[in-house]
Amino acid sequence: MTAFLTGTRGYVIRKIGWSLGTMLFVVVFNFFLFRLLPGDPIGLYSRGRNMAPEQLIKLRAELNRPIGAQFLEYLSNPFASTINSVRFNRPVWELVAERVWPTVLLVGTAILIASVAGVWLGIRSGWRRGGTFDRVTTGVTNTLYAMPEFWVGMVLLIALPFFPSGGISTPGVTGFLDTVLDTAWHMVLPVTALAIVYLAEYTSIMRASLVDELRQDYLQLARAKGLREDLVRRRHAVPNALLPTMTLIFLNLGFVIGGAITVETVYSWPGLGLLSYEALRGPDIPLLQAVFLLFSIGVVVFTLLADLLYAVLDPRVSTQ
C-alpha cells in the first residue's frame, strides 16, 4: 500500500485524489451556502413581473420540497437550478455556457502574451542584475503592478481613441475573415490592459527566482566547462528558475474561467466576469450559484494540472 503511494505514480494519485475531494466539498458546500442565504428567491424573481399568484404558489412548492430530494436533484446536475436566472429568465447553464468562450479568448491571450514576454524580460533583467535594463524593467513593471486593472483599462481607453471602446464585435460585420479581424481589433485594449498586469507579476517572479540561482555552484561548473554565458543561462539556470513562474501562470489559468471581472466590466466584454458582475448586481442567486461552482472547479482543475506539471519539470517534487 505504501509502496503503491510512493514515487511518481503515488504522487499523481495523491494529487488527483485531493482534487476530487476538494471538488466534492465545493459541490456540496455550494448547495448549502446558497440555501443558507437569507431572502425570498421567489419574491426576487417575481419582482417587476406581472405574475399571477397561482404561478408563485407553484414555484414556492418547488422550493419547499424536502432538502434531501433537492440535494439529490442538484447532484444529478449541479449547474441546473430550479429557478431560472432572475435577470435573464433563462436556465443558468445556458447563460454560463455562452459566456465561457469570450473569457477564455481574452484571458488566455493575455496570459500567453504576458507569460512569454514576462519570462523573457525576467530572464534578461535577472541575469544582469543591477544593469540598466534590469533597473528600467524593474521600475516599469513595479509601476505597472501597482496600478489597478480598471484604472489601466480606463487610461488605455482614453489614450488610444482609435480602438473600440468596448464589446467584442461590430454590429453588421459578417463573414469568417472579417469576424476574426474584427474580434482581434476589439481585443487589443482589453488584452493589453490584462497583459500589463500579468506581465509585471511574471517578470518580477521570474527575475527573483533567477537571481536565486545566480550564485549556485552548478553555474560555476558549467562556466568552468567552457560554456558560453548564454548557454549557461538557457540550459542550466532558467529551467531551474522556471518553477515559481509556472506556479503563478497556472494559478492565473485557474482564474481564466473566473475571468477578469474588472477588465471585462471596463470594456463591456461579454464574458464570465461580466456575467458574475451582473449576477452580483441583482443579486441573481441561481446564476451566482452556477458561476461560483464553475470558478471553484476551474481553480481546482488548474491547480491539479500545475501539480502534475511540476513532476515533469522537476522530478525531485514527486520523489520527496
Partner 1 sequence: MHHLVRRALSVALAAGLLTAPAATALAQSPAPSQGKVTFTVGILSDVDSTNPFTGIVVEAYEAYALMYDYLVTSSPKDVSAMPSLAESYQEAPDKKSWSYKIRAGVKWSDGQPLTARDAAYTFNRIINGDFEQTNYGNYVTNIERAEATDDTTLVLHVKKPTPIMERLAVPILPEHIWKDIDGTEVKSFANEPENGQAIVGSGPFRLIERRKGQFLRFEANKEYWRGAPKIDELVFRVFLNADAEAQALTRGEIDFAYDLQSNVLESLKNKPGITTRGSAYSGFDEIAFNTGAALADGTPIGDGHPALKDKQVRLAISHAIDRDVLVNRVLGGNGSPADTFIPPVYPALHLDPANKQNFDPAKANQLLDAAGYPKGADGVREKDGKKLALRLFVRDSSEESQATGEFVKTWLKDIGIDVTIKVMSEDALTEVIGQGEYDMFEWGWVVEPDPDYQMSVFTCGKRSYKDGDSIFADLSDSFYCNPEYDKLYEEQAGETDPAKRAELAKRMQQMVYDDAAYAMTYYYDDLVAYRSDKWTGFVPQPDPDGSLLFQYGIHSYLSIEPVRATSPASAAAAAEESGGMSSALIGGIVGAVAVLAVGGVLVARRRRTADADERE
Q: How many residues bind partner 1 (CB under 8 A)?
A: 77
Nearer to partner 1, 6 or 179 (CB): 179
Region binding partner 1 by CB under 8 A among candidate stretches 70-78, 179-187, 207-215, 302-310 = 179-187
User: What residues between 28 and 47 interact with partner 1 by CB under 8 A?
Assistant: 38-40, 43-44, 47
Based on DSSP, count helices (H) and strands (E) in the chain, helices before strands.
15, 0
Q: Are 125 and 137 in contact (CB under 8 A)?
A: yes
- CB nearer partner 1, residue 9 or residue 235: 235
Q: Is 171 in the site for partner 1 (CB under 8 A)?
A: yes
Q: How many residues in the chain?
A: 320
The site map against partner 1 for 226-245 (x = CB under 8 A) is xxx-xx--------------
Binding to partner 1, residues 59-118 (CB under 8 A): 60, 64, 87-91, 98-99, 113, 116-117
- Among positions 245-284, residues that touch partner 1 (CB under 8 A) are 264-268, 270, 274-275, 277-278, 281-283
By beta-carbon proximity to partner 1, the closer residue of 190 and 254 is 190
Q: Is residue 201 a contact point for partner 1 (CB under 8 A)? A: no
- In whole angstroms, the minimum distance from the beta carbon of 268 to partner 1 comes to 5
- Given a contact cutoff of 8 angstroms between Cβ atoms, the answer to whether 302 and 20 are in contact is no
> Going by C-beta distance under 8 Å and a sequence separation of 6 or more, which residues neighbour residue 196?
114, 144, 147, 152
Q: Using CB under 8 A, pick the residue from 160, 214, 221, 312 that binds partner 1.
A: 160
Close Cβ partners of 164 (under 8 Å, ≥ 6 residues apart): 170, 185, 186, 189
Exposure on the CB side of residue 288, measured as CA atoms within 13 A:
17
Q: End-to-end CA distance of the chain: give it in Å, rounded.
A: 17
Residues 277-306 within binding reach of partner 1 (CB under 8 A)? 277-278, 281-283
CB of 32 to partner 1, least distance (A): 19
C-beta of 5 vs 51, nearer to partner 1: 51
Question: Angle at Cα 183 formed by Cα 179 and Cα 186, nearest 5°?
Answer: 140
Using the contact rule CB under 8 A, the part of the chain among 20-28, 158-166, 286-294, 296-304 near partner 1 is 158-166
Identify which of residues 120 and 218 has a Cβ nearer to partner 1 in the complex: 120
Distance of CA 291 to the CA centre of its chain: 13
CB of 262 to partner 1, least distance (A): 10
Residue 286 CB partners (closer than 8 Å, separation 6+): 41, 81, 82, 83, 84, 85, 86, 92
Q: How far is CA 43 from CA 31, 95, 105, 165, 277, in A?
A: 20, 22, 37, 37, 21
